[in-house]
Amino acid sequence: MPCTDEEVLRAERNRYVCDPARAAKVCDSLQSRLSLSEAELKKVVLRWPMLLSYSFAANLAPTMSALQSRLELSEAELKKAVLRWPKVLSLSFAANLAPTMAARQSRLELSEAELKKVVLRWPTG
């Protein structure tokens, strides 16, 4: 995932640079799980560099699985959601995403299909 010197410096200034081996594992796992191209992976990491500091197995994968299961997302829809809002992977599904979705669904009286559309438009939806 080639980055420009400016992109590396920006990530370092934000103090999201972590162990290079861990970052490489996270990148490889994200790319494999979501079928990301190099350009898409770069976009995800540059939009939310903190992802590189998370454990893929303990944090990112469970969030993706729970979100995909709860909304019945296809692989393409999950990929779209992560590309649009990479920060979603850093949120706890049980503590943050599920209650937020439930509140929106209840408050707006959304069907499951409507909730899915709203979530796929996050963070603006």
CATH of the domain at 58: 1.25.70.10
The whole domain housing 49 covers 5-121
Q: Rounded CA gap, 27 and 66, in Å?
A: 20
CB 53 within 8 A of CB 18: yes
Q: Rounded CA gap, 110 and 61, in Å?
A: 27
pLDDT in tens, 57-100: 999 999 999 999 999 999 999 999 999 999 999 899 999 999 99
Structural domains counted in the chain:
1
Q: Rounded CA gap, 46 and 83, in Å?
A: 11
More confident residue, 13 or 35: 35
**Considering the entire predicted model, what is its pTM?**
0.80
